[in-house]
Amino acid sequence: MSTTRRRRPALILLATAAALGCLALAWWQWTRYESTSGSFQNLGYAMQWPLFAGFCFYAYFKFVRYEEAPPELHPQDAVTEIPAGLLPERPRPTTPRGVEPDDAVGTDPDDADPTLREYNAYLAELARTDDETPADKRTR
């Protein structure tokens, strides 16, 4: 017997048990709604649980359908591309303050901003001291 033609009794039993459990929970919520301490929240749950029971059977039938005719796989060597316009565009680089966009072409952005130049020098100093520190003393 082919594995794609069986209906798998254990799976049918599982889907049925799950659906019956959902219906039992719907009944329990309905009785809670009818009690003196019940609320509309219980009524909402009592209406939701039968939908979950229906989903159990829907999922089983979708599984059987995929078993009989599985979706086609993409070839391993096929190139997939993201459609244009799906992702947001990357932000454009901004020009430093006080520099016109035409003047910024060909200039080094580090020279235009003294704070950035200072910060980069600080990072370079940290990297230099880190390279000079022995590896066994770095974690202390």
Residue 132 falls inside a structural domain: no
Question: DSSP secondary structure string, 45-84?
Answer: HHHHHHHHHHHHHHHHHHHHHHHHSPPPPPPTT----PPT
Assigned token pair, 124: 């370079």
Residue type, 114: P
Residue 28 falls inside a structural domain: yes
List pLDDT tens digits, range 11-59: 999 999 999 999 999 999 999 999 988 899 999 999 999 999 999 999 9
The confidence score (pLDDT) of residue 85 equals 84
Q: pLDDT band at residue 80, thresholds of 50, 70 and 90?
A: confident
Share of the chain above pLDDT 90, in %: 38
Q: pLDDT band at residue 86, thresholds of 50, 70 and 90?
A: confident
Residue 44 falls inside a structural domain: yes
Q: Is the pLDDT of residue 106 over 80?
A: no
CA angle 12, 16, 20 (to 5 degrees): 175
Q: H or E stretch including 132?
A: helix 114-132
**Do 53 and 22 meet the contact criterion of CB atoms below 8 Å apart?**
yes
Domain enclosing residue 48, as ranges:
9-68
Residue identified by tokens 């799906």 is: 86
Helix (H, G, I), strand (E, B) or coil at 25: helix
Q: pLDDT band at residue 1, thresholds of 50, 70 and 90?
A: very low
What is the overall mean pLDDT for the chain?
Answer: 82
pTM above 0.85, yes or no: no
**Do 117 and 123 meet the contact criterion of CB atoms below 8 Å apart?**
no
Q: Is the pLDDT of residue 67 over 90?
A: no
Residue 26 falls inside a structural domain: yes
> Region 66-76: what's the mean pLDDT?
82
How many structural domains does the chain have? 1
